[in-house]
């Protein structure tokens, strides 16, 4: 087992095996099996390219040989920052096969995030596209390398310039040289949205993740004829696994890759490829609902439309069936594990008004008050969970783990929920210091720390403010040292520090002091209320 990764106590591991959750599969083996069984079937469609299971399997082996030749070893961490292109799969399966661990960075991450992942994970390699969405990742790699000269390998899909070209790494396949990879080995490190400062790294094993794929594929009724459209960046846990692209490959079905989630990108693909299922976040769902009536594409192949990552309003949820002509599925999940789904045959009331129920009968759920005591049934409290695909601790985070998990191994989700009489969860809010910007999670503390580095900032507090479109946006309250800097200058300062765009505060407010709680902490609740009231008044004045 990779050092620094807490794991399940033996009695739990035994139970999950005995109950048939963990079946001893690995990702490398899973692809091989699909390729052996139906090698000619298409696994991935990207533009006019159709890649079969057999080809994907072969290319992963050839790349695995190249990675080994570069000196990448079992348990080495490799930062993978690839958009929705076939290389994503080839790279991941090649790494899985040699037991090296992808760390799934998002395409929107910049120098601040990437340098931290490389340094914290002691990365053996960093894999990027040449350019994507008009951004040159080689420039980013240069910045990271100037801070971290010890980063050995920068590997580029496309024109590598001074770096290592990915396309030059495909060697003769030699699976006999692959290190032995066990089902209970960590397969990769997923990212948490973060609540205390920087993103934590989440160790997921082959056993636990493949179990989550199997039940997800089952609940979403994937079969060989299913076609999953990857509209969101697939490195994110939701489009990766719920059932996402990996659940789709698990089911032997076909993944269609979209560059992005806009109707211009996705609607023609749905029509052309006869897509049956896709997943988006609430703001994208609103855009699709708006666009559907005025567009001519035939979306009739779509059977399941998943919405998750942030709370979807009941009003919008109610419109899905009539506007898009398919079944809505709400998905409430987290990269740490637990995923809740509404089921495809659930009644309208459940589908519209709840965020689903746990996918596994072995998921354990508790809803507790501030003192950790169970609330009365139906009351709101913090959701705690434990189960066969929920981690027991973050990677190399002993101190944080002591707070984020209960002594008996329940993960404190930081989500405020209530459970209805049929066991379905309704998300009511959040106890963690995080902004959920339309599914993109922003840890307040991370942004505050960057703001505090500005010479004119005395103190900073970042909170959410309500937003019709994104659900929430971020507002930075600043106590300036003397003359307040312009808001635009502060935002530019954060950009120059290499912070991902979605973490740049949407609004900046200056103040002389922060409201305090009884014990003298900054009252974020009071700040949230203040900005919400200010926005409501401004909206009223406009009318």
Instruction: Name the helix (H) or strand (E) containing 142.
Output: helix 137-147
The DSSP code for 418 is E
Q: Which two tokens stand for residue 501?
A: 């765009």
Does residue 193 belong to the site contacting ligand AMP (CB under 6 A)? yes
Report, in Å, the least distance between residue 27 CB and ligand DBH: 17
Contact between 261 and 284 (Cβ < 8 Å)? yes
Select from ligand DBH, ligand AMP, none the partner in contact with residue 413, using the beta carbon and a kind-dependent cut-off of 5 to 8 Å: ligand AMP
Task: Tell the residue number behind the tokens 């009252």, with chain if given.
Answer: 523
Name which of 333, 45, 62, 24 is nearest 190 in CA terms: 333
Select from ligand DBH, ligand AMP, none the partner in contact with residue 241, using the beta carbon and a kind-dependent cut-off of 5 to 8 Å: ligand DBH
Sole binder of ligand AMP in the list 310, 317, 324, 490 (CB under 6 A) = 310
Q: How far apart are CA 342 and CA 39, in angstroms?
A: 33
Select from ligand AMP, ligand DBH, none the partner in contact with residue 242, using the beta carbon and a kind-dependent cut-off of 5 to 8 Å: ligand DBH
Angle, helices 86-98/53-70, rounded to nearest 10 degrees: 60
Sole binder of ligand AMP in the list 441, 473, 491, 524 (CB under 6 A) = 441
Of residues 397-426, which lie at the interface with ligand AMP (CB under 6 A)?
413, 415
Whose Cβ is closer to ligand AMP: residue 67's or residue 389's?
A: 389
Does residue 237 belong to the site contacting ligand AMP (CB under 6 A)? yes
Select from ligand DBH, ligand AMP, none the partner in contact with residue 415, using the beta carbon and a kind-dependent cut-off of 5 to 8 Å: ligand AMP
Q: How far apart are CA 210 and CA 204, in angstroms?
A: 10
Phi, psi of 42 (to 5 degrees): -80, 130
Whose Cβ is closer to ligand AMP: residue 226's or residue 390's?
A: 390
Whose Cβ is closer to ligand DBH: residue 218's or residue 271's?
A: 218
Q: How far apart are CA 206 and CA 64, in angstroms?
A: 18
Instruction: Name the helix (H) or strand (E) containing 316.
Output: helix 314-324
Report, in Å, the least distance between residue 484 CB and ligand DBH: 35
Contact between 447 and 435 (Cβ < 8 Å)? no
| 54-62, 267-275, 326-334, 405-413 -> range binding ligand DBH (CB under 6 A) | 326-334
Does residue 355 belong to the site contacting ligand AMP (CB under 6 A)? yes
Whose Cβ is closer to ligand AMP: residue 27's or residue 238's?
A: 238
Whose Cβ is closer to ligand DBH: residue 339's or residue 451's?
A: 339
Task: Tell the residue number behind the tokens 């890649």, with chain if given.
Answer: 51
Cβ atoms within 10 A of the Cβ of 316, count? 17
| 120-128, 261-269, 329-337, 404-412 -> range binding ligand DBH (CB under 6 A) | 329-337
Does residue 335 belong to the site contacting ligand DBH (CB under 6 A)? yes
- How many CA within 13 A on the CB side of residue 475? 21
Does residue 237 belong to the site contacting ligand DBH (CB under 6 A)? yes
Report, in Å, the least distance between residue 9 CB and ligand AMP: 24
Name which of 236, 276, 277 is nearest 108 in CA terms: 236
| 146-154, 330-338, 363-371, 525-533 -> range binding ligand AMP (CB under 6 A) | 330-338
Select from ligand AMP, ligand DBH, none the partner in contact with residue 491, using the beta carbon and a kind-dependent cut-off of 5 to 8 Å: none
| 148-156, 165-173, 327-335, 462-470 -> range binding ligand DBH (CB under 6 A) | 327-335
Does residue 333 belong to the site contacting ligand AMP (CB under 6 A)? yes
Contact between 101 and 396 (Cβ < 8 Å)? no
Contacts of 189 (CB under 8 A, 6+ apart): 77, 101, 102, 103, 104, 121, 201, 202, 203, 204, 395
Contact between 84 and 230 (Cβ < 8 Å)? yes
**What number of chain residues touch ligand DBH (CB under 6 A)?**
11
Which contacts (CB < 8 Å, 24+ apart) does range 141-150 have? Answer: 143/111, 143/115, 143/498, 144/111, 144/114, 144/115, 144/118, 147/111, 147/115, 148/115, 148/118, 148/119
Sole binder of ligand DBH in the list 238, 250, 288, 411 (CB under 6 A) = 238
Q: How far apart are CA 327 and CA 307, in angstroms?
A: 11
Report, in Å, the least distance between residue 68 CB and ligand AMP: 32
Does residue 242 belong to the site contacting ligand DBH (CB under 6 A)? yes
Does residue 28 belong to the site contacting ligand AMP (CB under 6 A)? no
Sole binder of ligand AMP in the list 84, 112, 153, 192 (CB under 6 A) = 192
Rounded to the nearest angstrom, the gap between the alpha carbon of residue 342 and the centroid of all alpha carbons in its chain is: 19
Contact between 159 and 153 (Cβ < 8 Å)? no
Select from ligand DBH, ligand AMP, none the partner in contact with residue 61, using the beta carbon and a kind-dependent cut-off of 5 to 8 Å: none
Select from ligand AMP, ligand DBH, none the partner in contact with residue 440, using the beta carbon and a kind-dependent cut-off of 5 to 8 Å: none
Q: Which two tokens stand for residue 223?
A: 């079969």
Of residues 145-164, which lie at the interface with ligand DBH (CB under 6 A)?
none
- Tell me the H-state helices in 434-523: 444-452, 487-496
Does residue 248 belong to the site contacting ligand DBH (CB under 6 A)? no
Each residue 289-308 as x (binds ligand AMP by CB under 6 A) or -, in order, gives: -------------------x
Does residue 330 belong to the site contacting ligand DBH (CB under 6 A)? no
The strand pair at 125-129 and 153-157 is best described as parallel
Whose Cβ is closer to ligand DBH: residue 335's or residue 490's?
A: 335
Residue 347 burial (C-beta neighbours within 10 Å; 0-12, 13-18, 19+): exposed
513: left (phi over 0), alpha (psi -120 to 50) or beta: beta
Contact between 338 and 427 (Cβ < 8 Å)? no
Q: Which residues bind ligand AMP (CB under 6 A)?
A: 192-193, 237, 308-311, 330-335, 355, 413, 415, 427, 430, 436, 441
Residues forming contacts to ligand DBH in the complex (CB under 6 A) are: 237-238, 241-242, 308-309, 331, 333-335, 339
């Amino acid at each position: 087992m990779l050092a620094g990764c807490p794991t399940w106590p033996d009695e739990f591991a035994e139970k999950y095996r005995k109950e048939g959750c963990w079946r001893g599969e690995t990702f490398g083996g899973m692809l091989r099996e699909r390729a052996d069984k139906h090698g000619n079937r298409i696994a991935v469609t990207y533009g006019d390219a159709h890649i079969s299971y057999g080809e994907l399997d072969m290319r992963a082996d050839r790349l695995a040989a190249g990675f080994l030749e570069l000196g990448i070893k079992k348990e080495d961490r490799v930062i993978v920052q690839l958009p929705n292109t076939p290389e994503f799969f080839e790279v991941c399966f090649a790494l899985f096969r040699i037991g090296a661990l992808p760390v799934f960075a998002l395409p929107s991450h910049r120098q601040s995030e990437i340098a931290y992942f490389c340094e914290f994970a002691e990365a053996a390699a960093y894999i990027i596209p040449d350019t994507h969405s008009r951004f040159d990742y080689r420039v980013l790699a240069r910045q990271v390398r100037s801070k971290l000269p010890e980063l050995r390998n920068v590997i580029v899909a496309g024109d590598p310039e001074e770096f290592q070209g990915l396309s030059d790494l495909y060697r003769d396949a030699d699976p006999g040289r692959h290190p032995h990879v066990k089902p209970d080995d960590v397969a990769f490190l997923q990212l948490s949205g973060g609540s205390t400062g920087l993103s934590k790294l989440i160790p997921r094993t082959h056993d636990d993740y493949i179990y989550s794929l199997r039940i997800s594929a089952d609940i979403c009724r994937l079969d060989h004829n299913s076609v999953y459209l990857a509209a969101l960046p697939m490195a994110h846990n939701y489009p990766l696994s719920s059932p996402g692209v990996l659940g789709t490959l698990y089911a032997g079905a076909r993944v269609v890759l979209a560059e992005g989630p806009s109707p211009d990108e996705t609607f023609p693909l749905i029509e052309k490829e006869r897509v049956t299922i896709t997943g988006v976040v609430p703001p994208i769902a609103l855009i699709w609902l708006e666009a559907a009536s005025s567009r001519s594409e035939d979306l009739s192949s779509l059977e399941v439309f998943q919405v998750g990552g942030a709370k979807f309003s009941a009003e919008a949820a109610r419109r899905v069936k009539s506007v898009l002509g398919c079944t809505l599925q709400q998905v409430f999940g987290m990269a740490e594990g637990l995923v809740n789904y509404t089921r495809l045959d659930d009644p309208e009331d459940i589908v519209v008004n709840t965020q689903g129920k746990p996918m596994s009968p072995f998921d354990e759920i508790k809803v507790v008050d501030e003192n950790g005591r169970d609330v009365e049934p139906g009351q709101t409290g913090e959701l705690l969970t434990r189960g066969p695909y929920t981690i027991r601790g973050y990677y190399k985070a002993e101190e944080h783990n002591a707070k984020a998990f209960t002594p008996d191994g329940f993960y404190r989700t930081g989500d405020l929920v209530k459970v209805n009489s049929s066991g379905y969860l309704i998300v009511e809010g959040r106890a963690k210091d995080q902004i959920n910007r339309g599914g993109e999670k922003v840890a307040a503390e991370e942004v505050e720390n960057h703001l505090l580095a500005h010479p004119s900032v005395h103190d900073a507090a970042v909170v959410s403010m309500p937003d019709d479109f994104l659900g929430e946006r971020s507002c930075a309250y600043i106590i300036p040292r003397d003359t307040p800097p312009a808001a635009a200058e502060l935002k530019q300062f954060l950009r120059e520090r290499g912070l991902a765009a979605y973490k740049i505060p949407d609004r900046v407010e200056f103040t002389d002091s922060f409201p305090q709680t009884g014990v003298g902490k900054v009252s974020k609740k009071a700040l949230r209320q203040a900005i919400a009231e200010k926005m409501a008044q401004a909206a009223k004045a406009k009318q």
